[in-house]
Amino acid sequence: MSLMAGKRGLVFGIANDYSIAWAITEQLHKEGAELGFTHLPDRDPANPKMERRVRKLVDPIGAKMLVSCDVQQDADLDKTFALAKETFGEIDFVVHSIAYAPIDDLKGPVYGCSRDGFKTAMDISVFSLMAICKRAQALMPNGGSIITLSYLGGERVIPGYNVMGLCKAALESSVGYLAHELGQKKIRVNALSAGPIKTLSSSAVKDFDSMLNMYGAMAPLRRNVEVEEVGKTGLYLLSDMSTGVTGETLHVDSGYHVMGAPPADAKFS
């Protein structure tokens, strides 16, 4: 039997087919999961670019629902989970792949981040997980699994990652508290900390190509991680293969996070 046969869940945060959320979705679909999705709100309802972009991906795999959701709006979150209840009744998993900081605040130094930019980044990147967990747990009477996506910049200083590193540190802390609070309901909460992957979000990170080069030179596997490997790890955390794992930040980065200095054979191009 497929790993996710009979399992139903929601995926927040697909932007396009390069998204890590999409790589996880592909693995979930292969293993038989029934899936619902959200997309960013379209500014012009007459020209729904965001909806079309995501629908193009999810319709061919039999998406059970697709709804616009601005995670800064409680009404949108309520609407999304009301539709999930109507569509599925109960759910077994949630993928939270949402992060954002205003571009000027992200590209500038941490000390130069604006007050409003910091609030926005934390609201979207961190509070959204808490708000989603609050609503998801009501649809998980038999337990379930919730995962979010992080990065090493939440644990170590990664030049260029800037204020998003602060957001990921807060996100990983929230994972532990949420795991504690939801554990007695048999709901697991984990973070997946992937190595650098070329996505729409990563394009805003300064010197991203240098990150890719460094990972290939320094990681124990002497290569960067592939997005498919991140997708498979997401599947593991969402499936019954990981029923004893919660409150974890699981690194999928070819082992880069264990290194404290470059290996002797490291070659930087």
Which long-range contacts does 76-81 make (Cβ < 8 Å, 24+ apart)? 76/41, 77/131, 77/132, 77/135, 78/135, 80/10, 80/38, 80/135, 81/135, 81/136, 81/138, 81/139
E strands present in 5-58? 8-12, 34-39
Q: How many CA atoms are closer than 13 Å to the CA of 43, on its beta-carbon side? A: 0
Closest CA to 165 of 86, 246, 110: 110
d(C-alpha 147, C-alpha 171), whole Å: 11
Nearest to 91 by CA among 141, 155, 23, 30: 141
Q: Mapping DSSP to helix (H, G, I), strand (E, B) and coil, where does residue 8 land?
A: strand
The answer to whether residue 151 is catalytic is: yes
Nearest Cα to Cα of residue 34 among 60, 6, 67: 6
The dihedral over CA atoms of 37, 151, 201, 171, expressed in degrees to the nearest 10, equals 60
Our answer to whether residue 161 is catalytic in this structure is yes
Q: Output the CA angle 33-131-34, nearest 5 degrees.
A: 10
The residue from 100, 161, 215, 236 that is catalytic is 161
Indicate which residue of 100, 151, 215, 236 is catalytic. 151
The catalytic residue positions are: 151, 161
